[in-house]
Amino acid sequence: MTNPMLASMRRDGRLLRGRPWDLAMITWVPLLAVMLLAWMFSAGLPHRLPVAVWDQDHSSLSRQLVRMLEATPGLAVRAQVLNASEAQWELQSMASYAVVQIPPGFAQDVKRGRAADVVLMHNAQLSTHSSLIQRDVRQVVGTLSAGVEMQARAKRGDPRQALAVRMEPVRTSLVSLFNISTNYEQFLAAALIPALLHILGMTAGAWSVGRELRDHTLGEWMDEAANGPPNGQPDGKRHGRPAGAATVLGALAGKLALPWLSLTLCGLLALLWLTVGRGWVVAGSFSWVGLALAALVAVSLAMGALLAALTLSLRTALSGAGLLSAPAFAFSGVGFPLLGMPASARGWAVSMPYTHYARLQLEQFQMGAPIVQSLPTLCSLVLATLVLMLLATAGVMRGLRRPDKWGGR
Amino acid sequence: MMADRPSSRSSFLRAFLDALRAVAGDKGVLMLLIGAPVLYGFFYPWFYSLEVVQRVPVAVVQQDGSGLARQMLRFAEASPRIEVVLTTGDEAEAQQALLRGEVMGYALLPPDLKRDVVRTQKVVVPVYANGAYPLVAKQVQYGFAEAVGTVSAGIELRRLGAAGQSRLQAASSRSPINLQMEALFNPTEGYGSFVVAAVAVLILQQTLLMGGALLVGTWRERGEAAAPVRIWLARLLALCALGWLSGLYYFGWMFVWHDFPRGGNPLGALLLLAVFVPAVAGLGVLLGWWFANRERAMQVLLFTSIPLAFLGGFSWPAEALPTILQWLRWLSPSTAAIQASLRLNQMGAPAQAAAFHLSVLLALALASWLAVLWVGRRRAGAGTAGHIGRPD
């Protein structure tokens, strides 16, 4: 009696040894890719973003503003421009991501007690760059303005202690929960690494099942799963048990087991590095994220396998895997929130497993949500894996009855 | 032989048409070169078609029953950025709603708000926003800050007025220096305009890379790949022709259809396509040659779109990348092409603003074409039968 899962695993282990590319795509390539992502974001928040200054006032106050901009770690005053066309060139050539314009009469307006304007022309096409610059410049101008006002009021004789209160009777204090450091490394890299494994998992699922079809070896694979390895037995004697549903399911599980282990391990190592390795405290439960990651890789592999089993073509399955998995991050609500999408698009987004995984990871890594809240997500990922595996089993069984379809490219 | 030019030209044309026919006869290549760009042109912008996040659900914890607190609530309700879906006196209820994801933030109007304001004591309204979703958190914070700020400014103007300043004076002495923000190039600061305009270039690259590699990988498997220079040029040109079509479809039709910032420098954009597409086609052919396998390129390239997007310098500032990566990223045509496309399509810059990027693409194109001609040359004595695709 052969265990189809073990037999299928042994077969794949043997095949992988002779196929360096197939082995690479579930071992060192994913490892390198997650390391690349972690490395890309290792500087954390970008700093010293180039801006240009267009000082039309040439006063000591405007120079003070420029010095304050220079002293801000997020900004680098790259150039002083002299006229509109130079400012335009700075922006259009993207040498600077913003131009701070100090209009003529700036210091005089301030001295006479009129409101003076500083203009920030920022490149809104580069949303990340420009929002970081906006934040920093707003802070600098706010500081300068508050200083001017304090001086003016002190001159008018307001008591110093009461100044701050008088200036802003009701203040909002903005508390950003759950991502207090607003550290982009944690935020982006931690979300992108599972997204990458989602793609690699679906590709691996489509590849390992699709390749048996492309190579006309679907029957061979099932035969080996049902009756053990072929070595030593003459071909004529190899008509043992035909592959039933249980055998096919076992064979599928065995085939996907090695990529599952390897990709999950890759992801766990990367997430461990980003959190424990970089000294970040996980607000919730790391092991819960680990379990969910294992489930995400499993569901990705099962989706890939189902694509191959449904289309009976390796190439079409890979196309499908690309369509479903490659944009998964973009539509997961991590960058652009789900509530900003039209209802139909949101329907697509919430039917993708990565969307739910991303939510769970945020809940556990950043928000410190109770485990109970993440439980349904994990359960549905596991359930989805089971359903997809059963569907893939049905697909493979149909494929077994249609040897004429094998070898489709 | 290349004896007389007219016949060599017509045989080049024949080779070009043969290559086009090979593409048209291969459903896989056709899907990647025509089907995928068309499909993604609709699919990708769909998710971002509303461009900005409005009416983010929030809660207000009202622990003060005064008219001032009610005024703040009314201003918050009027803000287009946020939508107050929960008003409660119990902060724990708002916290629970936040954890469950029902609201993305809340403001706490503390008890004795009115009394403290009257006594000119310091009053702080804390705004809690879910920072795990930065775009949403920004709307929550600005929405509440505007509502509270408007009320606060009203109080202060009244006070200054009481102290004998005119309204105009009062307004300027309240805030002597103001910052005016001017959003250039993407005036609505739309998310789709920001992401899709750049991702479109990456989609062009990935589909053409995979399509080219699939085609050449198949030829390699069959041992039909090696060819004289003339044939290779015809094949590369055929791939380019399809790449140019998709490129025009994106830069022309798609940007217009979705009303993305566009059309700044149409001639520059054509120049970009003229060097970008050949660079990608050349690299695609090289990959196909190297893999010598029909499906391998898809398997290997699918995941690369994520790192390439973040190396492209549009969603993640290149200034924040490690120095080595700042150099290595130019090896993918997408990096230079995204940068050039932003300058030429979205910012309307003159071509010299993208001169560096266009030169990088030209260099990649020349290098890859020369490499194709060299590795793919038909060796003397080696017929088509001599080449059999590698088993793996």
B245-276 tens-digit pLDDT: 999 999 988 888 888 888 788 999 999 999 99
Block means of pLDDT (10 residues each) for chain A, length 409 residues?
Answer: 87 93 95 94 84 94 94 93 93 94 91 87 91 90 86 72 60 68 72 96 96 92 85 53 85 96 96 86 88 97 97 94 93 86 91 94 85 92 97 95 85
- Residue A324 located in a structural domain: yes
Which band of pLDDT confidence, cut at 50, 70 and 90, is reported for residue B8? low
Site from A29, A92, A199 to mutate, B interface, most B CB atoms within 10 angstroms:
A92
Q: Running DSSP on this structure, what letter comes out for residue B127?
A: E
- Residue A172 located in a structural domain: no
A84 and A112 inside one domain: yes
- Residue A138 located in a structural domain: yes
**How far apart, in Å, are the Cα atoms of A262 and each of A127, A205, A268, A294, B169?**
36, 13, 10, 10, 69
Residues 6+ apart with CB under 8 A from B4: none
Q: Which of A159, A152, A56 is nearest to B176 (CA)?
A: A152
Give chain A's largest Cα–Cα span.
107
- Residue A177 located in a structural domain: no
Nearest chain A alpha carbon to B121: A165
The predicted pLDDT at position A212 comes to: 94
Q: What angle do CA B224, B226, B229 make, to 5 degrees?
A: 130
A236 by Cβ neighbours in 10 Å (0-12 / 13-18 / 19+) ranks as exposed
Which band of pLDDT confidence, cut at 50, 70 and 90, is reported for residue B2? very low
Q: Running DSSP on this structure, what letter comes out for residue A362?
A: H
User: To 10 degrees, the CA torsion angle through A61, A62, A66, A71?
Assistant: 20
Total domains present in chain A = 2
The predicted pLDDT at position A238 comes to: 53
Q: How far apart are CA B290 and CA B329, in angstroms?
A: 21
- Residue A159 located in a structural domain: yes
Q: Which B residues, 135 through 194, put their C-beta within 8 Å of a C-beta on chain A? A: 135-138, 141, 144-145, 148-149, 151-152, 155-156, 159, 169, 171-187, 189, 191, 193-194
A147 and A286 inside one domain: no
Structure tokens at A268: 């766990």
A129 and A194 inside one domain: no
A12 and A84 inside one domain: no
Site from A54, A176, A351 to mutate, B interface, most B CB atoms within 10 angstroms:
A176
The predicted pLDDT at position B154 comes to: 82
Listed range (A130-134, B206-210, B339-343) with the worst mean pLDDT: A130-134
Tell me the nearest-neighbour CA distance from B10 into chain A, angstroms: 33
- Counting every residue written for chain A, the total comes to 409
Domain boundary among A165, A191, A220: A165
Chain CA centroid to CA A262, Å: 20
Q: How far apart are CA A388 and CA B169, in angstroms?
A: 70
The predicted pLDDT at position A186 comes to: 73
User: To 10 degrees, the CA torsion angle through A366, A368, A370, A376?
Assistant: 10
- Residue A97 located in a structural domain: yes
Q: Is A345 on the interface with B (CB under 8 A)?
A: yes
A277 and A244 inside one domain: yes
What's the number of CA atoms in the CB half-sphere (13 Å) around residue B254?
29
Check residues B101 and A231 and name the one with the higher pLDDT: B101
Q: Is B306 on the interface with A (CB under 8 A)?
A: yes
Average pLDDT over residues B300-320: 93
SS3 A336: coil
Structure tokens at B358: 């266009």
Flag if A199 and B185 touch (Cβ within 8 Å): no
User: Tens digits of per-residue pLDDT, B16-56?
Assistant: 999 999 998 999 999 999 999 999 988 888 888 887 888 89
- Residue A70 located in a structural domain: yes
User: Tens digits of per-residue pLDDT, A140-186?
Assistant: 998 898 888 788 777 777 665 555 555 666 777 777 777 655 566 67
B315, amino acid identity: S
Q: How far apart are CA A307 and CA B29, in angstroms?
A: 19
Structure tokens at B275: 């060097």
A280 and A306 inside one domain: yes
| Chain position carrying tokens 């048409």 | B17
A193 and A144 inside one domain: no
Structure tokens at A132: 């970081």
A225 by Cβ neighbours in 10 Å (0-12 / 13-18 / 19+) ranks as buried
Q: How far apart are CA B65 and CA A216, in angstroms?
A: 76
Chain CA centroid to CA A320, Å: 20
Domain boundary among A103, A136, A165: A165
Check residues A231 and B60 and name the one with the higher pLDDT: B60
A284 and A396 inside one domain: yes
Residues 6+ apart with CB under 8 A from A174: B127, B129, B141, B145
A133, amino acid identity: I
Domain holding A100: CATH number? 3.40.190
A158 and A193 inside one domain: no
Domain that holds residue A229: 4-42+183-405
Domain boundary among A103, A138, A165: A165
Q: How far apart are CA B65 and CA B114, in angstroms?
A: 9
A83 and A190 inside one domain: no
Q: B198 and B338 in contact (C-beta within 8 Å)?
A: yes
SS3 A73: coil
Q: Is A70 on the interface with B (CB under 8 A)?
A: no
The predicted pLDDT at position A236 comes to: 46
Strand order in the sheet with B123-130: A170-177, B123-130, B105-109, B56-62, B82-88
Q: What angle do CA B342, B344, B346 make, to 5 degrees?
A: 50
A126 and A193 inside one domain: no
- Residue A175 located in a structural domain: no
User: Tens digits of per-residue pLDDT, A221-275?
Assistant: 999 998 887 765 555 445 556 678 999 999 999 999 999 999 999 999 999 998 8
Flag if B99 and A370 touch (Cβ within 8 Å): yes
pLDDT at B64 over 90: no
Flag if A43 and B322 touch (Cβ within 8 Å): yes
DSSP-assigned states of every residue in B210-252: HHHHHHHHHHHHHT-----HHHHHHHHHHHHHHHHHHHHIIII
A57 and A37 inside one domain: no
